[in-house]
Structures are given as C-alpha cells and as structure tokens.
Homo-oligomer: A and B are copies of this chain.
Amino acid sequence: MALKHAVLAALLDGEFSGYQLAKAFDIGVANFWHALPQQLYAELTRLEAEGLVAGRQVVQETRPNKRLFRVTDEGLAELERFAAAASRPSFIRDDLLVKVQAVDRIDAAPVIGQLGERARMAAAKVEIFEQLLVRLRGGADEAEFLAHGTRIGPYLTCLRGLGFERETRDWCERIAGVLRARADAPDRA
C-alpha cells in the first residue's frame, strides 16, 4: 500500500488533479514512484473517502471540469506514520536484464538494439533531471540550497533519479559495446 503514500507525498507541493498526477507518475518526473492514471484516480477516491485528502471541484469553461486535491492534516499524520515504519526493500525488476542474463544462449542482436534504445531513453531522462534540479534550486548553489532550502525532498529524490539514469545509460552503452565486439570478432574459445 505504498502508492497511497506516494500520492500523499506528491500532493505535498500543492493542489493537483488526478490528470496532473497521472502525467507526473506516468512520465516518471515523479521519479520516486510510477503508476497508471487508473490507479491514481482510484487511489484518490479511496484517500478522499478516508479523509486523507480533500478534493474541490474546479469548473472550467474551455476544458472539462476537474477536481483538485490537497493533503489533509490526517493525511500528513498518515505520512508521518508511514515514514516511521520500516521500508520494504526495493528490488530490481527489469525485462532487459533478463535478456542480458540469457544473452550467451540466444541471439544477441535484438538485445544490443534494446540496450541502445534504453541508453538513449536514460540519456534523455538525465537531461530532464539535470534541468529540473537547476529549476528546483532556483539558481542557488547546490550546497547552499541543500543546507537552507525550505523544500528539498523533491530535489533529493531527483538526485536519486539522476544517479539511477546515469548508471543505466553508462551500463547500457558499455554492455552494448561488449556484445557488439563479441559479435564482430567471434568465438575463438
């Protein structure tokens, strides 16, 4: 039940509609969690029923009406409890790694292709995150911002996302290179 808390955490920075949250959780700008729109709408409904978030209708003329949600005091208390409890460890679960694990026994060509593609996706995220970090610290020096900024949570998780994507990019490029070299100069075992 951690999507619940991810939504609460995402709503700490203001009022958002399900649609807005959905975009953030889908693209992975909210790089601390991932979820589909359907999950988010359902979760928001549950959270509102529990009184952990409060929604208000915003009538729009040019667009469909929307509901904006904010965290209630009870919601914040629930987050507090969640943070104090033990975290379940996080695990890697990645199709591409499964393919690399098997790469000696299957055709390497499509795996090499997918490694390149993944590397490009990771590189794109690296750029996005780097720009986001600059925006979040508002031009200030990083050390200064981390020491005295008033809202550093999103910055810290973005740092994690940045490190993760850099690692992904570098690993994919390196492994693709290794596999290409083996394909070019085959087995003189």
Interface residues of A (CB under 8 A from B): 2, 5-6, 8-10, 12, 28, 31-34, 76, 79-80, 82-84, 86-107, 110-111, 114, 118, 121, 146-148, 150-154, 156-157, 159-161, 163-164, 167, 170-171, 174-175, 178, 181-182, 185, 187-189
Contacts and interface: CB of A to CB of B under 8 A. Distances in A.
Contacts of A163: 167, 170-171
Copies in the complex: 2
B106 A86 contact: no
- The A interface, classified by DSSP as helix, strand, loop or mixed, is helix
Given A82-B98, A83-B110, 20 more contacts: A2-B93, A2-B95, A5-B95, A5-B102, A8-B102, A12-B102, A33-B92, A34-B91, A34-B93, A83-B102, A84-B110, A90-B95, A100-B157, A101-B154, A102-B153, A103-B156, A104-B152, A146-B178, A159-B175, A160-B171
A28 to B, nearest CB: 6
Contacts of A164: 92, 164, 167
A182 to B, nearest CB: 7
10 contacts: A2-B98, A6-B98, A10-B101, A32-B97, A79-B105, A84-B110, A97-B157, A102-B153, A146-B178, A146-B182
A62 to B, nearest CB: 32
A78 to B, nearest CB: 10
A2 B101 CA distance: 13
